Structure 1
Amino acid sequence: MHTMIYDYTSKPEPPQCSGSVDAVAVHVAFQLSNGLEPAFHPGERCSRSGMVMGVVAESGSTPSISISRIIGPFNIPQVSHFATCACLSDKQQYPTFFRTVPSDQFQAVALAKLVKHFGWTWIGAVRSTALVVVAFIAGGDMDILLKELARDPPPPRQWIGSEAWVTDTNFVSFGFCAGAIGFGIQKSVIPGLRDFLLDLSPSEVAASPLLTEFWEDAFDCKLGKNAAAGENVCDGTEDIKKLQSPYTDTSQLRITNMVYKAVYAIAHAIHNVVCHEKNFTSQCDKHSKLDSKQFFNKLKKVNFSQNGYDVSFDANGDPVAVYELVNWQKTESGDIELVTVGYYDSSLPMGQEFRINRNLSWVEGSEQVPVSVCSESCPPGTRKVLQKGKPICCYDCIPCPEGEISNATDSPDFPVL
């Protein structure tokens, strides 16, 4: 028996139309379904097409949909690490799709609960009289928005962000967003990964176009075969261990952590197919032929803990939605750093989903939760009267008429002005 786990994650490419990305995804999906990549079988001393049990793919929702529609009919499960479209939870259309990253549906609910948690009832979209602005938006779109706002900085606002941008360190240069708070995918320090990344030999670099491109960009030199006249040639003294770059920084691994969990989910499913518990010990038949449907059923039931994180899937192939609560805090030097101040766990009882374990820094460095309401509370002795044509959180505070009294805050009144 030979089992192959494919990780199809496209490397960063120049901006292009989504159609070309989908075309590549479809092409690779057909290759995987047909088992075109050869695999060597030591027992049979021969080479033949590999048997694809699972695919770790893709980072985007649109190509994930394309892949799922091709490999799904073959009962080949797909585990995505970063496709967040709520549509992929539809098991009628995507029965073999799983993911280790929470769906946007969970994040939308979490953002709404965050707003409710801090008592904000008047929320803006970019500009309004509201103090709090919720930006549930893709990173590229947020970049355009913030660059436009930077040309004429707006009055201080409390930004609430989605994971697509609030944990992206490229945005911390926008100082007017200091105090922002939002959700981040759980980060992790993956054991052994840093040592693995730093253990690059010159022969490995030269043999890989991707590593060659990375090496030349990181050290601003050209490998001998690529060097043109007058260009700086890599001379072998380059030390990757001294390199300060996102490649060597393994302390903020968020998406990578989702890939890590996806690979282990597939590995656990395979183990549960070929291994059986007997007399409190595992007995594994490594030569048994793996059945794709049997493997698919085992993947649906995986439930384990890896590197301090629980991994399981619900009936829709979604994980339990757990997010870090990330706060943009200014340091003494004036820089902004991303600080994890708590967590959100959708599996906890209603009202207990948030766990905040550190002080938050709000807009303008305030330590007090900002107030963002359309109308301030009406004190005792007055009553609330709704403003015509406005949301129900907008009202006037009218003194009680003669002969009537109110001894509570926000006493209601139903007539509309």
Structure 2
Amino acid sequence: MTSTQRWTVGGWVLLQLLVVVSFSQAEELVCQQRGDPENPQLSKDGDIIMGGIFSFHSSWKVRQDTYMNKPLLDLGEFQCAQAMIFATEEINNSTDLLPGISLGYKVYDSCGSIARSVKVALALANGNEVVSAPTEAPCTRPAQVQAIICSNVLKCEYVTVLHIFLGGNFFFLQISHFATCACLSDKTKYPSFLRTVPSDYYQSRALAQLVKHFGWTWVGAIRSNNDYGNNGMATFTETAQQLGICLEYSVSFFRTDSSDKIKKIIDIIKASTSKVIVAFLSGMDMNLLIQVLSQHNMTGYQWVGSEGWILESQTADTDTHHILDGAIGLSIPKAHVSGMKEFILDVKQLNLSSNKIFTEVWETFFNCKFKQSNSLSENQRECTGHEDVSEVQNSYTDMSFMPIFNNIYKGVYAVAHALHNILECNETCNYKVQLDLHMVSSTLNKLYFVVKMSNNIEMYIFKCMNKIFDNIS
């Protein structure tokens, strides 16, 4: 099936998620979303709403149980959502930025699924309400949110599908803290995409230079079979060849592939003579691969990794057989945002906000169960609700993802500064200005602003990363 054919089929499936147009007995045109309404995991009302899409449930783990249980909670993704909320609350408490305007948020769980990412994005763009539709513009309404903070889950070709099938009218501003695929730099295809992280145009070349630096000229390559892996590895391969580096093999897989396909990749590695493996993989794909490599006791390889997995503490926890000992790679520069760590670790504030996800977070965080959960096993202790965060050491208390949190922080501030300019805010803001997503996007593309960093209140000028990294040839 060609790419165009695949998009066409996928496009029709996705469009079924959009709206249903129906007539009542009074012949009134009504628009509503098909299926069950999507409700946010975390939310707060405000004058202006920010959207968030994170994969709260995406962790890979072998489980010997039925499909009656919920997937495991990904505490790292939940940290990212907390970073977004921290920035929002900090802006609301500021007297200088958006005075008199309160920012709210709606944060959804994509479950690591492309289809679900699109569905919750549509919920953010359209809302769940049933509305009467004027005949001259059926099923259209003002955007529910001004921008969506998302990672790399909302795959770019699906956004293009919606853009094409809706006649170019489907537009919502995406700001990503972790989507590094160089393909997203094409503004003719992705005019509403911005990011606060460099594209893989640079990382792929830097990885080739790193391999060359150590004199490794005979290597193997493994990549995620998606835009991130395929584009990143293509650029790495091109640069490596220019530097005199040869690839013995280059294979791809996705975490949902059959065990037979992944076994073939293991066989290729075993049969190879190269001992250096360059892995352009997402964290979830790498976690799966590590489990399979551990089963075959495949140690003694030098791994070179992309930022997608090299910093993940979960990958290290999964590597019980020391498969990745000595692995090297590239990561996002270190950063520190004053007060963010304390905010993220203050899990109790979720309960005060009456967020439905509190119970699940608390039980995962402290490895206990509340009595009302009705799922307390003999080996599990009961949650009291008074557990002490300072006594726990797990992936949630690990702040190694602070550089990513900083990218989220900057993304929220970028939107706030754009809105501040559009609403002509000084001592007050002009409520009469009609916000428009194209206007917000245009303002972001030429935005400069100052953010506070570290305990020393260091100040630096931040320019939207879309302009710095994506427009350099």
The Cα offsets for residues 91-141 of structure 1, whole Å up to 9 and x where unpaired, read as 112111112233333321221222234444333444644453322233344
The reply to whether residue 5 of structure 1 matches residue 50 of structure 2 is yes
Match of 1:355 in 2: none
1:154 Cα deviation after fit:
5.7
Distance in 2 of aligned mates of 1:177 and 1:83: 24
1:213 Cα deviation after fit:
0.8
Partners of 2:197 and 2:407 within 8 A in 1: yes
The counterpart of 1:257, out of the listed 406, 418, 424, is 406
CA, structure 1 residues 73+255, in 2 after alignment: closer, same or farther (shift >3 Å)? farther
Distance in 1 of aligned mates of 2:350 and 2:462: 37
The reply to whether residue 297 of structure 1 matches residue 393 of structure 2 is no
The reply to whether residue 108 of structure 1 matches residue 209 of structure 2 is no
Match of 1:218 in 2: 365
1:185 Cα deviation after fit:
2.3
Match of 2:124 in 1: 32
Partners of 2:125 and 2:143 within 8 A in 1: no
1:256 Cα deviation after fit:
2.5
Partners of 2:219 and 2:275 within 8 A in 1: yes
CA, structure 1 residues 194+201, in 2 after alignment: closer, same or farther (shift >3 Å)? same
Structure whose residues are more often helix by fraction: 2
CA, structure 1 residues 304+118, in 2 after alignment: closer, same or farther (shift >3 Å)? farther
Partners of 1:131 and 1:157 within 8 A in 2: yes
Match of 1:162 in 2: 306
CA, structure 1 residues 28+237, in 2 after alignment: closer, same or farther (shift >3 Å)? closer
CA, structure 1 residues 226+51, in 2 after alignment: closer, same or farther (shift >3 Å)? closer
The Cα offsets for residues 160-180 of structure 1, whole Å up to 9 and x where unpaired, read as 211122212344444353332
Aligned length: 306
Match of 2:183 in 1: 87
Percent identical pairs in the alignment equals 36
Task: Return 5+ residue gaps in structure 1 as ranges.
Answer: 39-47, 277-281, 322-345, 350-417
* Larger mean Cα displacement after TM superposition, 80-89 or 230-239: 230-239
1:60 Cα deviation after fit:
1.4
User: SS of the residue aligned with 1:213?
Assistant: helix
Structure whose residues are more often strand by fraction: 1
The Cα offsets for residues 192-221 of structure 1, whole Å up to 9 and x where unpaired, read as 123223434488179333210121233343
Higher RCO structure, 1 or 2 (CA under 8 Å, sep 6+): 2
CA, structure 1 residues 150+33, in 2 after alignment: closer, same or farther (shift >3 Å)? closer
Distance in 1 of aligned mates of 2:292 and 2:127: 49
1:313 Cα deviation after fit:
4.0
Task: Return 5+ residue gaps in structure 2 as ranges.
Answer: 1-45, 61-70, 72-109, 131-140, 222-268
With the length of structure 1 as denominator, give the TM-score of the two structures.
0.60
Q: What value does the CA root-mean-square deviation take over the aligned residues?
A: 4.0
What is the letter of the counterpart of residue 174 of structure 2?
Q
User: SS of the residue aligned with 1:4?
Assistant: strand
Partners of 2:336 and 2:403 within 8 A in 1: no
CA, structure 1 residues 8+230, in 2 after alignment: closer, same or farther (shift >3 Å)? closer
Partners of 1:103 and 1:318 within 8 A in 2: no
User: SS of the residue aligned with 1:7?
Assistant: strand
User: SS of the residue aligned with 2:469?
Assistant: coil
